Amino acid sequence: MARGSRSMRAPRAVAAWAFVLAACGADDAVTLRITSWQSPEENAIDAVEFRSFEAAHPGVRIVNDPVSNSAEYREKVLTSIGAGSPPDVFLLDGIDVAAFAARDVVLDLQPFAERVGVQLGLFFPQVVEPFRVRGKLLAFPKGFSPMVYYYNRALFAEAGLAPPKHGWTQDEFLAAVRALTRDTDGDGVVDQWGTVLDRRLYAWQAWIWSAGADVLTADGARATGAIDQPAAERTLTLLTDLPKRGYAPSPSTVGRSLGYEERLFYSGRLGLMTSGHWMIPRMRRYLEQGRVQLGVVSVPRTPGHQVKTPLFASGWAVPYNTPHRKLAVELAAWMVRADAQRRRAASGLEIPTVMTVAYESAAKDRTGMEMDFLWQVPYGGVPWGARVAQYREVEKAMRDLVDRVVVDRVTVREATREAATVVDRVLSR
């Protein structure tokens, strides 16, 4: 009797649910919220992907909720996850991977990758690596960039210098910046510099690596024994001497919000500038107008050591507590598929993470810079932020290190030891 009653209930339940679904109507769409720190231009490109996802998933609506300031972005994502109301998909910066992994708030996408058609074997392995933590995959990488030096071809030619080649050395770099630094109007004041010193760790990390040294020890537990070693100190001395010797403008005048260094570069007053692929969209106008002729070259190395540069990647991640897990993972996968990456690559925003798309994009590039960027990939390393949860504090301590030398005029040795002590304390917590 009981079995019979139960068997009768099932069709009624199906009917009831059918009624619920019918009653929902077309307006009752599932809303997926996605967030990132991307610019309005990037959001416009992604909007195309959102609409195509909606077309492929009837009844699903995507709301993009970007935050332009990256610090406020992290604030928003963390707070919303903590409050139990997370975005369904969010952009995870490679240098925040360890911090998010430590809190175990991001869904492991590895088990779902194949189900949603993400073939990780087609991606650059060096770019997938930062998102792997203890066997888990915390995001589908969507784009990346190595740190490189942009150089002004015209200034090099004026100074009688041959364009630099990948794998050039620190001595060759010094010779170039010396030749490029000039007083062009003869008023006794230098108005064209060889390069610029960016105090931020991400800008000089590659220098340290390419000198065979590192910022932290191999296990990421300490800075003592790494940043205070002779190879690292020699490189830091070279870098911090640049403004002292007049080869670079004072770094303290390089205000973030003013974009001062880029202005100097666009206006032909800087020979070399370190940056990533993200600078291309801003420079494209000048390149197309022929106002500036640029080349891309690796960060200088010391003889006997290989070039090594951090690959800064970002990827689409899904919070562990999204109520729409399947749809969220599908959306994250949708955003990294080849077509989406092609569209982003066309805008010059970043290097595609899918290898074939990246080489296809480089083949279309007439400046040759895309191939130069791809040259760096085999020499790419995982940024410390993907391995060390307290990376932001490490980053700040390293900027203080440069400030101590350049602004407070302490010796490099003193500054590295101070920074190492601070970082050791931070990492021991």
Partner 1 sequence: MTAAHRRVAVLVVAAWAAASVGVAWRALRGLDRAARSHEALALAHALRGTVPAPAWPAGLDARDSLAVRSEETPLVVHSRSADMITAPVKDADDWDIIGAVGVAARWRERATAVALPTAAAFALGAALLVAVPAVAGTGATALAAGAAAVFGSAAMTTGVRLRAAAEALAPVGGDATVLDRLALREPSLALATLALVLLAACAALAVGAVRWHAAAAGRPVRVRETLGAWGFIAPSLVHLAVFTVAPVAFLLWISVHDWDLLASDRPFVGLAHFRELGADPLFWRALRNGLIYALYVPVTMVAALAAALLLDQPLRGIKVLRVVVFLPYVASTVAVALVWQWLLHRDFGLLNAVLATVHLPRVDWLGNPATALPALMLVSAWGQLGYMMVVYLAGLQAIPASLLEAARLDGADAWQRFRLVLWPMLRPVSTYLLLTGIIWSFHGFTLVYVMTEGGPAHATDVLVYRIYQTAWEFRRFDVAAAMSVVLCVLLLALTALQWRTVKGEPADA
- Site residues (vs partner 1, CB under 8 A): 6, 9-10, 12-17, 19-21, 23-24, 28-31, 57-60, 71-72, 74-75, 78-79, 81-85, 99, 103, 105, 111-112, 115, 249-253, 255-258, 321, 323-327, 390, 392-393, 396, 400, 403-404, 407-408
Could you give the C-alpha distances from 335 to 48, 94, 140, 213, 261, in angstroms and in order? 10, 17, 9, 37, 33
d(CA 150, CA 236) in angstroms, rounded, equals: 20
Other beta carbons within 10 angstroms of residue 149's beta carbon come to 21
Q: Which is nearer to partner 1, 91 or 374 (CB)?
A: 91
Mention every residue, 6+ apart, whose C-beta is less than 8 A from residue 292: 152, 154, 265, 266, 268, 283, 286
Closest CA to 311 of 378, 252, 362: 378
Q: Which is nearer to partner 1, 31 or 411 (CB)?
A: 31
Q: Which is nearer to partner 1, 68 or 85 (CB)?
A: 85
CB of 236 vs partner 1, minimal distance in Å: 16
Give the chain's radius of gyration (CA, Å).
25
Query: What six digits make up the tokens of 136?
Result: 């888990």
Q: Is 182 exposed, middle or buried (0-12, 13-18, 19+ CB in 10 A)?
A: middle
User: Is beta strand 148-152 parallel, antiparallel or unpaired with respect to 89-93?
Assistant: unpaired
Q: Which is nearer to partner 1, 3 or 366 (CB)?
A: 3
Which residues pair with residue 352 across a beta bridge? 143
Q: Which is nearer to partner 1, 250 or 356 (CB)?
A: 250
Q: Which is nearer to partner 1, 14 or 48 (CB)?
A: 14
CB of 167 vs partner 1, minimal distance in Å: 34
CB of 344 vs partner 1, minimal distance in Å: 26
CB of 85 vs partner 1, minimal distance in Å: 5
CB of 274 vs partner 1, minimal distance in Å: 19
CB of 336 vs partner 1, minimal distance in Å: 19
